[in-house]
Structure 1
Amino acid sequence: MAKTTRRTWLPDEHGAWAMLTVPFLAGTLLAPRPGWAHALLFAAWLLGYVAVFHGRQWLRLHARGLRSAGRHALPAVVFGAAFAAAGVPLALLHPWLVAAALFASPFVLVNTYFAWRGRERALLNGLAAVVPACGMLLVAARLGGLGPALSWPGGVACLLYFAGTVPYVKTMIRERNSPSYRLGSAVYHAAALVAAAFLSPWLAIPFAAYLARSLALPGRGLRPPVVGAIELACSTALLLTLPLSL
């Protein structure tokens, strides 16, 4: 019963949790003055994601006239209220957070459009989701006293990695038989390695590993849990490397 309830209320998009967590934690680690506000912002960030997830699922199913849309209504309201409880006081203390939210809104709208159309697995939809998630590195860093002039390389590094996971994971699961996806993923990761090395020689280490896995693993028939575990290790490597590189 508890497992069923958890599945009903919490999204099962495992890759999204790393994308939500790693940039935020990296920005917090880079900040010279992390504090209680980071804990409150992190709670608001995750609660907002879950609320929006259920809102999109309701929209997607309701647009098709399915009764199952109703099961997403209560979680959307509950998590939305919890998000407001955590986020509004923080925004009153730090009004610039409202501007950050407005910057993210076009990408949220793109994701909402794809959900409404039932095309959440589209490549563009995945790439659009990466941008605000990686932007949270800059937000968390600024909240702790590190401005964008110094934190932007970390945001770019996160963007390079998580944008690459979108086509790479497709080569492992949904597009595992597509030569064009494999080629596109490999070319992207090679370019990302060069860009990351310009940001910092330290970043060349994990990005070389990302390129290697994009070349070596597609076509090996790895199960989704194994693919997820590898990406968890890759995102952890990025999190550990960023404080050394900036």
Structure 2
Amino acid sequence: MATKTRRTWLPDEHGAWAMLTVPFLAGTLLAPRPGWAHALLFAAWLLGYVAVFHGRQWLRLHARGLRSAARHALPAVVFGAAFAVAGVPLAVLHPWLVPAALLAAPFVAVNTYFAWRGRERALRNGLAAVVPACGMLLVAAHLGGLGPAGSWPGGVACLLYFAGTVPYVKTMIRERNSRAYRAGSAAYHAAALAVAALLSPWLAIPFAAYLTRALTLPGRALRPPAVGALELACSTALLVTLPLSL
């Protein structure tokens, strides 16, 4: 019963949780003065994501006249209220967080549109979700006293990695038989390796591994849990490397 309740209230999207967590933690680790405000912002960030997730699911199902939409209403309200409890004090203490949040609004709007149309697995939708998630590295770093000049390379590195996971995961699951997706994913990862190496030679190490997986794993009979576990390892490698390389 507890497991069923947890699945009802918490999104079962492992890739999303990694994308939400790694850039934020990387920005916190890069910051010279991390503090309690980071814990509160992290809570607000995750609570806001879950609230928006349920809101989108309600919109998607309600647009199709499905009664199952109702089960997302209460979680959306509860998590939305919890987000306000955590977020409002932060906005009062750090007013710059408000315009920073507004910068994410266009990408949230894109994701909401694709949810309404029932096309949440679209490539453009996935890429749109990556941008504000990686932008949280800059937000967390700034909250800890590190300006954009010092944090933007980390944000770019996160963007390079997580944007690459969108086509790569498709080559492993939904587009496993698409040669176009495989070629596009491989070309992207080769370009990402070149850019990452310019940011820092240390970053070339994990990005070389990302390119290797994009070249060798599509077409192999890996089940989704194995694909997810590998991406967890890859995102952890990025989190460990960033503070050492920037």
Name the residue aligned to 2:238: 238
Name the residue aligned to 2:191: 191
The aligned amino acid for 1:21 is T
Where do 4+ consecutive residues of structure 1 move more than 2 Å? Answer: none
Distance in 2, matches of 1:179 and 1:22, equals 30
Name the residue aligned to 1:27: 27
Once the two structures are superposed, residues 17-70 of structure 1 have per-residue CA deviations (whole angstroms, 9 ceiling, x without a partner) of 000000000000000000000000000000000000000000000000000000
The aligned amino acid for 2:213 is R
Name the residue aligned to 2:144: 144
Identity %: 89
Distance in 2, matches of 1:88 and 1:147, equals 23
Name the residue aligned to 2:82: 82
Gaps of at least 5 residues in structure 2 are: none
Name the residue aligned to 2:68: 68
Name the residue aligned to 2:226: 226
**What are the within-5 Å matches in structure 2 for residues 100-115 of structure 1?**
100-115=100-115
Question: What is the root-mean-square deviation of aligned Cα atoms in Å?
Answer: 0.3
Once the two structures are superposed, residues 107-145 of structure 1 have per-residue CA deviations (whole angstroms, 9 ceiling, x without a partner) of 000000000000000000000000000000000000000
Distance in 2, matches of 1:127 and 1:141, equals 23
Distance in 2, matches of 1:209 and 1:99, equals 36
Q: Give the drift of 1:192.
A: 0.2
**What are the within-5 Å matches in structure 2 for residues 119-134 of structure 1?**
119-134=119-134
Distance in 1, matches of 2:133 and 2:86, equals 18
SS of residue in 2 equivalent to 1:175? coil
Determine if the alignment matches structure 1 residue 177 to structure 2 residue 208. Answer: no
Q: Give the drift of 1:202.
A: 0.4
SS of residue in 2 equivalent to 1:29? helix
Distance in 1, matches of 2:140 and 2:189, equals 27
Q: Give the drift of 1:240.
A: 0.4
Distance in 1, matches of 2:34 and 2:74, equals 34
Distance in 2, matches of 1:155 and 1:206, equals 15
Name the residue aligned to 1:39: 39
Once the two structures are superposed, residues 86-112 of structure 1 have per-residue CA deviations (whole angstroms, 9 ceiling, x without a partner) of 000000000000011000000000000
Q: TM-score under structure 1 normalisation?
A: 1.00
Distance in 1, matches of 2:13 and 2:243, equals 27
Name the residue aligned to 1:164: 164
Once the two structures are superposed, residues 149-169 of structure 1 have per-residue CA deviations (whole angstroms, 9 ceiling, x without a partner) of 110000000000000000000
SS of residue in 1 equivalent to 2:65? coil
Gaps of at least 5 residues in structure 1 are: none
Distance in 1, matches of 2:67 and 2:48, equals 24
Distance in 1, matches of 2:105 and 2:149, equals 22
Q: Give the drift of 1:78.
A: 0.0
Distance in 2, matches of 1:100 and 1:121, equals 27
Distance in 1, matches of 2:242 and 2:107, equals 25
Aligned positions, number? 246
Distance in 2, matches of 1:110 and 1:241, equals 31
